[in-house]
Amino acid sequence: MSFDYDLFVIGGGSGGVRAARVAAGETGAKVALAEEDRYGGTCVIRGCVPKKLMVFASEYADMVEDAKSYGWSIAPGKFDWTAFRGKLEAELDRLEGVYRNLLKNAGVESFDQRARLVDPHTVELADGSRKTARHILLATGGRPVKPDMPGAELGITSNDIFHLPELPKSILIVGGGYIACEFAGILNGLGVAVTQFYRGAQILRGFDGEARGLVSEEMCQRGIDLHLGTNILEMARDGDGIRVKATNGTERVFDQVMFATGRAANADDIGLEALGVARGRKGEVVVDEYSQTGVPSIHAIGDVTDRVNLTPVAIREGMAFVETVFKGNPTPVDHALIPTAIFTQPEMGTVGLSEEDAAEQEPIEVYATSFKPMQQSFAGRSDRVLMKLVVSKATRKVLGCHIVAPGAGEMIQLAGVAVKMGATKEDFDRTVAVHPTMSEEIVTMKAPVRSA
């Protein structure tokens, strides 16, 4: 049977674009890709990239303050949101162009429209035209979800934050995950009065307890009004603001309310049900370790599969798909020991097991140190950082490494190599410290602080 294409990719985010261009560029496959929105997807257009630029923007006020302690006569000016937003939009336009060119240069044909599945080898585009392909790859990503409650439509999500006409004077952020905590720090740094409600006992559920405890403490120190064990009951318009009734009995008016209450897979209305492609409890597309769905010609990668929802993981999954399907080299995706960073202020970098999860698995030793870093301490700040290793008593392997510090994202990438290689505590010990740095403490911790 002959097809229009060897591969049709639905979704032009990081995962879909990588799979399309590698399949076309490296294997000579005839590839098409459909994207209904902007090329680059969540990461480039409304996630990691604009978020990180906002993190940078938000850090300058403190830097200016600290510069004074270092002898500079300097005063913070005013943050100009409109000027920054203009530059940000121009940068995103540039990056979208880069993504389009990557596809074009690899010989991928792109369609700027929505596509849905018709049968195991056919997709239908929004204009009604149909295309056939030997393989179809779903890389449709995810989207933020709001809780179902009275007035929820008044709240914004991370998709909207980059487009605000002006920065609010006050904002309530709901949630305690990556997105809620990162934007609490960003907006606080930009001068917005930030209140955060998290329904649980401590933010960043699932991460190392001591590390998230320190992030939470530092966020409060920096002026974020964090309320744990608190959620919204209902919200309603009140003049120019939004009146929020909370579970703790309070009622307050905020300029904006942002929900960062999780994300859902973009898997609705694309024809999965009729083809019998299975979906999981949260609506995600169910795949095996080769990213194959129950329909052999249809694969899925990235957030739509809700495995580990991170850009580099989607890219890995896309590469493994091409390796498996187009290069004849079956390659399962390795989801073990993925380093990750949360761009809170201070950042958290983490790889491997939390102390709590490791202790459930086997007897462990914990090495940890918390101290005031030189640069901030000299500037008169009371900020603390944390370096922590969770070590197996039996094998001496480092099971988890957790860093809370400025630049922790950069540090954990490198520590991640050692942990992925199976480094033991003694391997860390015999590595000479780089002095004077914060990260040298990761190789100078002599005695365990506790065993479990």
By 3-state DSSP, what share of the chain in percent is helix, strand and coil, each rounded to 5? 35, 25, 40
Residues touching ligand NDP, count (CB under 6 A):
24
99 in Cβ contact with 12 (< 8 Å): yes
Q: What is the closest distance, in whole angstroms, from the C-beta atom of residue 121 to ligand NDP in the complex?
A: 32
- Asked if 335 is an active-site residue, the reply is no
272 binds ligand NDP (CB under 6 A): no
Q: Are 197 and 84 in contact (CB under 8 A)?
A: no
Residue 180: its H or E element: helix 178-189
Rg (CA), the chain: 24
Options 199, 227, 243, 381; binder of ligand NDP; rule CB under 6 A: 199
310 binds ligand NDP (CB under 6 A): yes
Using the minimum distance from each CB to ligand NDP, give the nearer residue, 264 or 295: 264
Contact 16, 41 (CB under 8 A): yes
Instruction: Tell me the closest approach of the beta carbon of residue 378 to ligand NDP, in angstroms.
Output: 29
Both tokens of residue 447? 């005695």
- Alpha-helix residue ranges (DSSP H) falling in 70-157: 81-105
Q: Out of 136, 174, 219, 442, name the contact with ligand NDP by CB under 6 A.
A: 174
- Which residue's entry shows tokens 């674009």? 17
User: Mask of contacts with ligand NDP, 336-365, x by CB under 6 A?
Assistant: ----xxxx----------------------
State which residue, 178 or 428, has the beta carbon closest to ligand NDP.
178
Lookup result for tokens 């201070």: 346
21 HSE (CA, 13 A, CB side):
16
Q: Find the binder of ligand NDP among 15, 41, 141, 175 (CB under 6 A).
A: 175
Assess contact for 123 and 115: CB atoms under 8 A: yes
Q: Which stretch binds ligand NDP (CB under 6 A): 91-99, 128-136, 177-185, 323-331?
A: 177-185
* Residue 134 makes contact with ligand NDP by CB under 6 A: no
Angle at 53 between CA 93 and CA 44, to 5 degrees: 45
Q: Is 207 in the site for ligand NDP (CB under 6 A)?
A: no
| Interface residue with ligand NDP, options 147, 191, 241, 448 (CB under 6 A) | 147
Question: Cα separation of 188 and 193, whole Å?
Answer: 6
Whichever of 202 and 369 has its CB closer to ligand NDP, that residue is 202
CB of 164 or CB of 264, closer to ligand NDP: 264
CB closer to ligand NDP out of 176 and 400: 176
DSSP class of residue 376 equals H
Q: Which residue has the tokens 């970098």?
A: 349
Which residue number is nearest to ligand NDP in terms of Cβ? 177
Does 367 help bind ligand NDP (rule: CB under 6 A)?
no
End-to-end CA distance of the chain: 61
Rule CB under 6 A: is residue 263 a binding residue for ligand NDP? yes
**Part of the chain binding ligand NDP (CB under 6 A), chosen from 31-39, 98-106, 174-182, 432-440:** 174-182
Tokens of 353: 């097991």
Q: Which of 135, 163, 227, 435 is catalytic?
A: 435
Nearer to ligand NDP by C-beta: 246 or 443?
A: 246
CB-based contacts of 12: which residues, under 8 Å, 6+ apart? 33, 34, 35, 39, 40, 41, 99, 103, 110, 139
Nearer to ligand NDP, 338 or 359 (CB): 338
d(CA 298, CA 37): 22
Site map (CB under 6 A) of ligand NDP, residues 56-75, x = contact: --------------------
Q: Which of 138, 180, 215, 418 binds ligand NDP (CB under 6 A)?
A: 180
CA pair distance 447, 384, nearest whole angstrom: 20
Dist CA 407 CA 411 (whole Å): 6
- Rule CB under 6 A: is residue 293 a binding residue for ligand NDP? no
Q: Is residue 261 within the footprint of ligand NDP (CB under 6 A)?
A: yes
For position 200 contacting ligand NDP by CB under 6 A, the verdict is yes
Q: Which residues bind ligand NDP (CB under 6 A)?
A: 147, 174-180, 182, 198-200, 205, 231, 260-263, 309-310, 340-343
Q: Catalytic site residues?
A: 435
